[in-house]
Amino acid sequence: MTFMTMVADDADGWSADRDALTEAVRARWPEAETDTSEGGEVRGIIWRFETENGPGEAYLHAKGTCLYMDTGEEDAIRLAIAFRGLTPARLDLVFCDEGYSFDVRVPAGTTEHGLTALVDAAE
């Protein structure tokens, strides 16, 4: 399933730190592969990794304000929290699935458990 976490409004020039996000991905999946060659206009950096439920992929939009995640919900929530940790508190962040069957705000300081509860309440 595909999930996204993105800055809800104007990012005012902010962009996620690719190196810090790579560290967060590798903290969970040490063998994650990083690819910047396929980026094009949309994909700034791609991470491919193996989860307990099969292959996963995430990519940071070239503007650095949106993270797309093709993985299970639990892993997407982990990545969304990592992205929130790199995002200034002044920026609103949204987490949703590709079908927009839910979309929730991710306040600064939200934990994995807290985001899971927000998603469960919205579904």
Q: Domain tally for the chain?
A: 1
Chain-centre distance of CA 31, in angstroms?
A: 18
State residue 75's pLDDT score. Answer: 94
Give the structural domain span for 40: 2-122
- Tell me: the pLDDT tens digits for 47-101? 999 998 899 999 999 889 999 999 999 999 999 999 999 999 999 999 999 988 8
Mean pLDDT of the chain: 91
Reported as a pLDDT band with limits 50, 70 and 90, residue 41 is low
The 3-state secondary structure of 52-95 reads: CCEEEEEEEECCCCEEEEECCHHHHHHHHHHHHHHCCCCCCEEE
Cα 67 from Cα 58, distance rounded (Å): 7
CATH number at residue 46: 3.30.310
State residue 40's pLDDT score. Answer: 62
With a CB cutoff of 8 Å and minimum separation 6, the contacts of 19 are: none
